[in-house]
Structure 1
Amino acid sequence: MAEGITVKEALDLIVLNGIKVGRVIAGFGGLDNIITSVSVIEVPDATRWYRGNELQITAFYSIKDDVKAQVRVIERIAQCNCSALVLCHTGIFLKEVSQELIDAANYYKLPLILVPAELAYIDIITPVLEAIIDKQKREIEYAFNVQRKMNQIILQGNNIQVLAGSIAKILKCPLLVIDGNNAVLASGCYNSQGDVLLKKVLGDQELCKLLFAADEAMKTLPGTARYSVDIRKLTSAGKYLGKLVLFLDHALSTMENVAVNEACQALKLVLMQEMAKEEEKEKARREFIDELLYGSTPKREDLVLSRAENLNIKVPAPPVVMIIEFESYESLCIKDNRDKGAWDNAVNSFRDKSINIVKAVMVDEKSDCIVVPRGNHVIAIFSVDKEQSDYVKSVKKIGRRIEEILRKDGIVDFVIAFGNQYPLITDIHKSYVEALKTINIARVVFNQTRCVHVTDLGIYYYLPELLTDNGINEYIDSVLSVIEKYDREKEADLLETFKLLLFEDNVVNIADKLYVHRNTLLNRKKKIRQLLGEDPFSHPLKLNYQLVMLFAQLRKNWT
């Protein structure tokens, strides 16, 4: 918003025959009040029409003999943030200015100005309004010129550092541009003293932390007596982009404040452009990593390596894929009926913690890695020493270290799985598919094991392929449907009981898990025998039904 002129400046404009005739008789503490408009008041109770920052003109015609009413006018225009009061035609209507009026003006620091009786209202209104309009015009022109300089820098494709340097020269102060993650994006100074100050600030970690955390201006920059700190937040559409930090050795003038506002607009534009570019790069990097995982990259190794280099991605070689699969908040809500938001936060926290742990362990193992989150998976592409004779032991050692740290959380269940290591990065998808398959099988076969390599599966690795056979699926359905039908009709829990009886021998432990008496469990076992028409708990039939349950669970995981 454009500003006006001060009361002190307005006094120079009140002239008669070329001579300054405005005389301040009270309220000297308000001479720096800003005037943006001029009004005439002759009605005592005109508060509703006051707009603030006005130079009020009056002859007190209607209250020339009422000192108390005159004092109330002073009180009201002061409370409405008016700038000053000019008394006209004194000696004609208002015979004298009372001490009470002077005291009130002094109390409210409202300049009380006397002018000669022969001076007309228009002689005050015209020059003051012309000066205000002229100043506002100059401010607009200045803002336009600053904006044009900023736009030229942006249109010429210069980076944010060049923009920061230009802003520093315009404002004649050192400055920093800090992004939304509290990283210094750019700095600017216009002389050697500013350069020394910036080096001192950036070299002091505690001072940097203070500036990064600060949201408001500082009267004094710690460690200096000369500089204050002005902080301007940079936001766009409600999104925090960063801030402009100015180190000032003087108070900003109106014009300089205009320049700061224009500079902030330019910085926001550049930051938004940079964010958009970075988002595009991140999207391209994400798509490239997904192509590696899904096997949709070109088969030529050199082309893939060249694309990775262009995206500034160092792909570990020879690569191996690790997947950490953790429970989704939906499954946690089903398992434990807590607030959905609480579980969502727990899962997000576990995911972020997993990423940081994987990165830290890989650094400690001196292994290059790429770590990305995908849904309820954290996926790591890494490599182990090519000279290792048994890389499986090496990767499982890494997995057990990660498992040990994650176990301490104890809230979210997880499985860590590894695929094989391959010589080419174009084969990453093979390791990824193996790791994914290993997780699905391990959750069924290795219920208590949290760290599994694909080679640990043995013959189980090939079981899912059998599920493509319609005959096997029909046989599984025929077995399960008998138990499931009984459960529906009797609201029983035979299927879960059947699973536990097939894979555990301790009847007491099974009864505890189902929260039933041992005799109840034995009755259920008897009912299962009756429904199936044979004893599924004795060999060789037991192995048959164990495979049925394994296939049923694998089928559920695959769908």
Structure 2
Amino acid sequence: MKTTLSDCLSLPVFADAKVLAGEDMTDRPIRYISVLEAAGVDDIDMEGDNPGTLEGYMLVTGFYGIRDDEKAQCQLAEKLAEVGLSALVLHGVGKIIKKVSDALINTCKEKGITLIAVKSSGGSVAAEMIEQVSHKLFYGAGDKFDDNLLTSSIYHLLNFEKYPDFPTAVRAAAEANAFQLVLLSSDLNPVLSIETQWKTTVDRAVMKAREKAVEKRRSIYTMINVDGVVTYWGSATINGQEYYMFVADNNDSYSIDEIIKLADIIELSIGMWKYTPASDSRSEFVKALRRGNVSTAYSRKEDAGIEEVKIISVFVGKSQYPEEILVAMDRYCAENRFVNVQVIERDEIFGILMAGHENCSVSMCAKLYDEIKSIGGVKISHVTGIDGVEGACDAFRLINENTKAASTVFPFKRKFSKYDLSLVAGCNRIQSEGGFIKKMYLKLLDPFLADKSQKGRMLLDTLETFVLDAGMNGSKTSEIMEIHANTVQYRLKKINEMLGVEITGNRVIPGLTVALALNRLEKRDDERRTR
């Protein structure tokens, strides 16, 4: 059963403790205990943590670094309250902290933290608190696991005569004991979902799990509060394949160790039933699109729950930490009612966006990709405005074949749209075919190459930066090249004179853009040949 703050205060180590604030909140559950010490309030960096991060935490501190600084103590309490701290225990009162200030007590009352003072009695009080509270958290009020949860679950999970299969058995166990079970593929797509209440959704749970970086903590069980539903995340191995598994405690009735025991029993029963989860149809559908396998995509479409007409965009992102892309996408899609289906492979993430309602638009997709490109170290290519399954396959092909070359043509860009990729695709074809067309485009740059002085090279570099990197913006050109804006304007004037045209003219810029892009691809290939 769950352990409350009141249960903890009944332990021997708290015999001389006094609750100074939050006396009316001692019925709240405690799930973790830890020690906090800091040389100053600036050492505690809570930036980026979400509300609820420390929910269920009891923190033990002696305020060693700020024992004489009431203001810093209050600031620390406020920071801890912002991320949901349940209880703050001050040990060594009278020795480390001579007296608990009224300001700190009032801050804790105002911010909803239960403040507990424990007088100094010699010895390692903090260590005793950790030992006794940890024991209470593991074994609960009765110093043993709750027989009802485990015994009842075993009765259903291993009742081979009563139930025809594992999903039926685990549903009966879940309904009898007020829990929920979801198995997910390595891409966090559900392959088995046993839901017994509907306070939130599996998609919301997955979004919260990504925010907590659950992919990096598979070996331990992680508690995540999802819209008031307490979930515990871990992993399970089924037929040699790794899955994610989370158990939701509907009524917040069980300790974390009971849930871990339950998860072990569930994994054991999966093997005894010889159960194999359904394939991850959503991931297989996206992978088929990426490979250009139209027939496989169509065969997986219905099982994946994909409505072809709702596919609005495909994307491929690359990052050292692709989970960051997923977290940003999940948050944006939840706010704007898009549905995202994606796959992570090593440092790459790819997938599709689908319209979740009639107001989802191409421009809204573009805004999402603008947000993603602002994440450090991320490059993303997308094709938005898709015509069904075949259109999605074509879009992935455009991305697959041209993203590397796009990085050469647009080295300062971190987001490539279908317009960038189409330009590069055309240049790739011209370059590979060679002949008259390629020659004619490159001859547009002859005036610069004919000038053997440094001036010709300098003007060509400026033109490339202005057209390909700066979007024909003089100020941005100045910034990229680290030269004065007046210098840019002077060079652009000279370029106009050298070419005999106004380079920003509507009839000039298309051909000039292709010529400059081709020139960059040619330079890349020349460098490769000389290595």
State if a TM-score over 0.5 links the two structures: no
Task: Select the structure of larger CA radius of gyration.
Answer: 1
TM-score, normalised via structure 2 length: 0.39
TM-score, normalised via structure 1 length: 0.37
- The structure with the largest helix share of the pair is 1
